[in-house]
Structure formats: C-alpha cells, structure tokens
C-alpha cells in the first residue's frame, strides 16, 4: 500500500466542530446576520475554507468575507481552537502507521499556524513529518493546492505511493485533481456517505480502525 499518507485535520483527525461553530455564530452576529440554524452552520463550515462557506451560504462579498473571518478569529484563535478533541482511535492509528514506516503529513485548509497549535496541543504533532496548511488571511486555502504543496514538499514522484484521508468532498476532489486516491471517512460526523460517493472516494471507512486496515493491508 502507499508510503505517503496525507490527512485532513478538521473532521478527520480531530472533532473541531464545537469550537468552529461557536466562532462562526459569533462572527455572523457581529456581521448583523445572526444564524438560528446551528445544524446548517455545522453542515457548511466544518471542512471547507471559511471564505467558501461565508460567500456561498450568505452571499458575502470578498470584503465582507474578510471582515467575517476577522470576527471569527476573535473568538476562535484563543478559545474555540481548544474546544476540540482527537477522535477515538486516531492516536492509535497514527502510532501504527508510523510503526509501519509510513510517511505522514497533514494537508488542511486551516491556516498552518493554527493547525500546528492543534496538533501540538493534542500531542499529535509527533507523528507527522510535514504539516501543510492555508494562509491566515484565507487567500491560499484551496484543498487541491494544499495537497500539491504537500506532495512537492515530500518530493513525491510516484503518485501511486500517496493517499489522502478526509471527510468531505473537497478532500476527495482535491486528491483526485492531484492524481491521488482518497479514503473518505464517516466517523467525523460532518461529511456523508452520499457526499463521498458522489465525489467518487476510492474507499469509505467507518472508523479509524478501518482506515488502518486499508492502509496497512
């Protein structure tokens, strides 16, 4: 099986939903667009870049998106970031992959600095050879570009030796755009089987143990 394993972060390694949702609701309130439907926020904001979600769901202009993101950071960067936890079985999965000699990377649209803080806080950083994330101003956050950055940094030349693991269609589509196969995961609670099947995920795993069985054969 593949030597290089790229993981999404939010909704794949950690359940960051509560902190993100809280910060989004705060930002929308500050923008004068209070959102009573928490479930809608949950479905839309966990995974995709903030600019994509704010613009597609609320019709925000680029300038309004930047202001909403600034409000989001007020709540999230010091408080919401830690309203989060690794999914059960993730530390064990990462340990087993490293013990098998795999090269692990994080490829997330989350700003790089915040991704590093989350991984360090939950003692997961030790397992990863590389962390690739977006920019703090969200100007470079497209998943396919983040995956491309990770592949280049790892000097991957044989794409059959790399696999992406993620919970949303953007993970699958970004992987396929770079010529990678992708394992779609269901245990995160944000992406759905229908979403992953429509994006043509190469495998769909119900829990971290199943991810391990796919990757370790």
* Structural contact between residues 103 and 4, judged by C-beta atoms closer than 8 angstroms: yes
- DSSP H or E run through 184: strand 181-185
- Compute the distance between CA of residue 53 and CA of residue 56 in angstroms, rounded to an integer: 5
| Three-state secondary structure of 92-134 | HHHHHHHHCCCEEEEEEEEEHHHHHHHHHHCCCHHHCCEEEEE
> Which one-letter DSSP state was computed for residue 86?
B
Residues that are catalytic: 8
> Which one-letter DSSP state was computed for residue 14?
B
* Structural contact between residues 28 and 69, judged by C-beta atoms closer than 8 angstroms: no
């Amino acid at each position: 099986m593949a030597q290089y394993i790229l993981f999404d972060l939010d909704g794949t390694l950690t359940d960051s939903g509560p902190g993100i949702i809280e910060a989004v609701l705060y930002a929308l309130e500050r923008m004068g667009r209070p959102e009573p439907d928490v479930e809608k926020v949950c479905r839309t904001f966990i995974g995709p870049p903030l600019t994509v979600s704010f613009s597609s769901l609320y019709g925000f202009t680029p300038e309004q998106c930047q202001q909403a993101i600034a409000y989001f950071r007020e709540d999230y960067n010091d408080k919401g970031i830690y309203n989060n936890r690794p999914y059960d079985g993730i530390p064990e999965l990462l340990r087993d992959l490293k013990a098998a000699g795999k090269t692990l990377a994080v490829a997330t649209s989350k700003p790089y600095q915040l991704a590093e803080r989350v991984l360090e806080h939950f003692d997961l950083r030790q397992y990863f050879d590389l962390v690739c994330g977006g920019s703090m101003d969200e100007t470079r956050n497209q998943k396919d570009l983040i995956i491309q950055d990770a592949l280049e940094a790892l000097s991957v030349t044989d794409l059959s030796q790399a696999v992406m693991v993620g919970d949303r269609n953007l993970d699958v589509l970004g992987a396929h755009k770079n010529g990678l196969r992708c394992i779609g995961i269901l245990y995160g609670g944000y992406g759905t089987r229908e979403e992953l099947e429509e994006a043509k995920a190469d495998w769909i795993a119900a829990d971290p143990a199943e991810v391990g069985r796919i990757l370790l054969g």
